[in-house]
Amino acid sequence: MIITPSQIKEIKKEAEREIEKAQDVLSLDNLWKKYLGRKEGKMNDILRGIKDLPLDQRPQIGALANQVSQKLEEKINQAKEKISQGKNKSSVKRDFTLPGRKIDLGHEHPLTQMRWKVAEIFSSLGFEILDGPEMETEYYNFEALNIPDGHPARDMWDTFFLKGFSQKKIKTTESEGKLLLRTHTSPMQIRFMEKRQPPLRACVIGRCFRNEATDVSHEHTLYQVEGFCVDEDINVSNLIHTLRSFLSLLFGQEVKIRLRPSYFPFTEPSFEVDFSCLNCGGRGCSVCGQSGWVEMLGCGMIHPRVYEAIGYPAGKYQGFAFGIGLDRLLMMLRQIDDIRWFHSGDLRFIRQF
């Protein structure tokens, strides 16, 4: 093998080019093996070949080869150090005058926005806004509302009963019965009237739970808006006026309503209320099932048995109560086609509001 100084210099140049390009420690280790390694290193091949050179050339070539090996070793080490200090990226200058990164705060869930809106409207109509427990007793959810144990009307609310909660721990008495997740907000009528004397006007917006098969318009978790008003001279026309005012304020336009006879154990008489479909103006479309009317709520005049359970004097007070499904109302307002979107956690849905 004939070794010339220019051959050695060629190897040096090639190695230097590769070292410069190397981005990480691993590739530098590989380059070390390629050029300086004992077995396959290119510089070692040279050193091994020196013994075959004519005597007078050996010192010069030997010295040059050693010098180049040393230099390459140094370069590889320097390059490694640069990488470990992150200095290989120092060409990216930092500009400390740039504005900071924006922290995205998100926004309220459409149902929460709706709750605020409804609360605002009812307080403008003079209603107090109440909150109540989501875990209820059978007494408040059913019995005090004139739905005794075993009464078929209990079938109207498919109930989640709670096991494993000690009644003593949350201070219920024997007569308050089993614990459950409230199926409607009506128990708050009782809780509030037990504490206060008429005249009273109150609105409860809260979560209710039903053990139902879910579909586009049914969920196991839903929001209700309960409103009630009790005084000595309250009648159905007060109820109609309140509902019409509420809907007009909510939709920002005059809304027609109609009452149909219905049944709830805690109201007498009871009604189902529809409002004229805003999508088609009452002409009939797919939203209202071609009828021109959309079902909205149950309501009625509070049953004397309810006052009796509370302990109000018989025959002294009259009042109305209504319960609106908040989710369905929002679906109507914003043209949402499936109630299950609300709890889906799907940001593509949430971000539209």
Give 192 or 322: the residue with its C-beta nearer to ligand PHE: 322
Give 69 or 185: the residue with its C-beta nearer to ligand PHE: 185
Q: How far is the CB of 352 from ligand PHE (least distance, A)?
A: 29
Distance (Å) of CA 189 to CA 12, 145, 179, 194, 238: 91, 9, 18, 9, 18
Residue 65 touches ligand PHE, criterion: CB under 6 A: no
Q: How far is the CB of 111 from ligand PHE (least distance, A)?
A: 17
Tell me the pairing of strands 135-137 and 128-130. Answer: unpaired
φ and ψ at residue 162, rounded to 5 degrees: -100, 125
CA atoms within 13 A on the CB side of 130: 26
What is the contact mask toward ligand PHE in residues 108 to 137, using x (rule: CB under 6 A)? Answer: ------------------------------
Residue 300 touches ligand PHE, criterion: CB under 6 A: yes
Exactly one of 264, 275, 307, 341 binds ligand PHE (CB under 6 A); that residue is 264
By CB under 6 A, which span of 3-11, 43-51, 173-181, 292-300 interacts with ligand PHE?
292-300
Q: How far is the CB of 267 from ligand PHE (least distance, A)?
A: 5
By CB under 6 A, which span of 129-137, 293-301, 306-314, 330-338 interacts with ligand PHE?
293-301
Give 146 or 172: the residue with its C-beta nearer to ligand PHE: 146
Residue 246 touches ligand PHE, criterion: CB under 6 A: no
By CB under 6 A, the count of residues binding ligand PHE is 11
Exactly one of 188, 205, 321, 330 binds ligand PHE (CB under 6 A); that residue is 321
Exactly one of 323, 329, 330, 336 binds ligand PHE (CB under 6 A); that residue is 323
For 349, the token pair is: 């849905």
For 334, the token pair is: 């914003």
Give 299 or 332: the residue with its C-beta nearer to ligand PHE: 299
What is the contact mask toward ligand PHE in residues 156 to 185, using x (rule: CB under 6 A)? Answer: ----------------------------x-
The DSSP string of 238-296 is HHHHHHHHHHHHHHTS---EEEEEEEETTEEEEEEEEEE-TTTTTS--TTTTTSSEEEE
- Residue in 32, 106, 37 with CA at minimum distance from that of residue 72: 32
Residue 186 touches ligand PHE, criterion: CB under 6 A: yes
The count of other CB atoms within 10 Å of the CB of residue 295 is 16
Q: How far is the CB of 186 from ligand PHE (least distance, A)?
A: 4
- With CB atoms as reference, the residue minimizing the distance to ligand PHE is 323
Going by C-beta distance under 8 Å and a sequence separation of 6 or more, which residues neighbour residue 342? Answer: 109, 110, 111, 219, 327
Residue 322 touches ligand PHE, criterion: CB under 6 A: yes
Q: How far is the CB of 177 from ligand PHE (least distance, A)?
A: 18
DSSP 215: B
Alpha helices in the chain (DSSP H): 5-21, 25-36, 42-49, 58-84, 110-124, 138-141, 187-195, 236-251, 304-310, 326-334, 347-350
Residue 68 touches ligand PHE, criterion: CB under 6 A: no
For 290, the token pair is: 């071609």
Exactly one of 137, 172, 242, 267 binds ligand PHE (CB under 6 A); that residue is 267
DSSP 218: B
Give 79 or 299: the residue with its C-beta nearer to ligand PHE: 299
Q: Are 222 and 323 in contact (CB under 8 A)?
A: no
Residues near ligand PHE, by CB under 6 A: 184, 186, 226, 264, 267, 298-300, 321-323
